[in-house]
Chain A
Amino acid sequence: MSDSDNPVDQIEAVAANGLLHRRAFLKTGTLLTAGATFLTAQAAPPELDAWSKVPGRPPEAYGNRSEYESDVVRLPGFSPPALGAGASRTPHGSLEGMITPGALHFERHHNGIPNINPDEHRLLIHGLVDRPLIFDLESLSRYPLVSRIQFLECSGNSRLLDADQPVDGTAQSIHGLLSCSEWTGVPLSILLDEAGVQTEGMWILAEGADSSLMTRSIPMSKVRDDAIIAIYQNGERLRPGNGYPMRLFLPGWEGNTSVKWLRRIKVTAGPTMTRDETSKYSDLRPDGSARLFSFQMGVKSIITSPSGQQTMRGPGLYQISGLAWTGAGRISRVEVSADGGRTWGEAELPGPVLSKALTRFRMPWRWNGGPALIQSRAYDETGAIQPTRTALISERGTQFNYHNHAIQTWLVSANGEVSNAYS
Chain B
Amino acid sequence: MLTRKVHVCNFIVLNLLLCSFALAQEGPGLGVPATPEQVAGWDISIDPEGENLPAGSGTVAQGEAIYDAQCFACHGQNGEGATNDRLAGGHGSLATANATKTVGSYWPYATTVFDYVRRAMPFSQPGTLSNDEVYALTAYLLNINGIVDETTVLNAETLPLIEMPNRDGFFWSAEVR
Asked if B20 CB lies within 8 Å of chain A CBs, one says: no
A58 at interface by CB-CB < 8 Å: no
Q: CB-CB < 8 A to B39: which residues of A?
A: 124, 126, 132
**Interface check A313, CB cutoff 8 A:** no
Q: Cβ of A409 < 8 Å from any Cβ of B?
A: no
Which residue of chain B is the closest to A124 with respect to CB atoms?
B42
Q: Which of B27, B47, B126, B173 contacts A292 (CB under 8 A)?
A: B173
Interface flags, B28-44, vs A, CB<8A=1, else 0: 11111110001100111
In the complex, B19 has a CB within 8 A of chain A: no
Chain B positions 95 through 126: 1 when the CB is less than 8 Å from some CB of chain A, otherwise 0: 10101010100111101100110011001101
Interface size on B, residues (CB 8 A): 50
Question: What is the bound-complex CA distance between A194 and B32, given in angstroms?
Answer: 11
Q: Is A133 an interface residue (CB 8 A)?
A: yes
Neighbour of A111 across the interface among B109, B120, B171, CB < 8 A? B120
B167 CB to nearest A CB, Å: 11
Is there contact, CB below 8 Å, between B29 and A194?
yes
Q: How large is the interface on A (under 10, 10 to 19, 20 to 34, 35 or more residues)?
A: 35 or more
A124 to B94, CA, bound (A): 38
Do B126 and A278 touch (CB < 8 A)? Answer: no
In the complex, the answer to whether A273 meets B109 with C-beta atoms within 8 Å is yes
Q: Is A186's CB under 8 angstroms from B34's CB?
A: no
Instruction: Mark out the residues of chain A between 68 and 111 whose CB falls within 8 Å of any chain B CB in the assembled complex.
Output: 79-82, 84-85, 110-111
Are A143 and B28 CB-contacts (below 8 A) given A213-B126, A219-B176? yes
**A82 CA to B32 CA, complexed, in Å:** 37
Those of A122-159 within 8 Å (CB) of chain B: 124-126, 131-135, 139, 142-144
Contact surface of B with A, Cβ cutoff 8 Å: 25-34, 38-39, 42-48, 73-74, 83-84, 94-95, 97, 99, 101, 103, 106-109, 111-112, 115-116, 119-120, 123-124, 126-127, 169-173, 175-176
Interface on A for B, CB 8 Å cutoff? 79-82, 84-85, 110-111, 124-126, 131-135, 139, 142-144, 186-187, 190-191, 193-195, 205, 207, 211-213, 215, 219, 263-264, 266, 268, 270, 272-275, 278-279, 282, 284, 286-296, 398-399
25 cross-chain CB contacts under 8 A = A82-B123, A111-B123, A131-B33, A132-B33, A133-B32, A143-B27, A143-B28, A143-B30, A186-B27, A190-B26, A191-B31, A211-B120, A211-B126, A211-B127, A215-B119, A263-B42, A272-B115, A273-B109, A275-B120, A278-B112, A279-B101, A284-B101, A289-B171, A291-B170, A296-B175
Besides the known contacts A126-B34, A195-B31, A295-B175, 17 further A-B residue pairs in the complex with CB atoms under 8 A apart: A82-B74, A84-B123, A124-B42, A126-B43, A186-B27, A190-B27, A193-B26, A212-B120, A264-B42, A266-B45, A273-B109, A279-B103, A279-B107, A290-B170, A290-B171, A291-B172, A293-B176
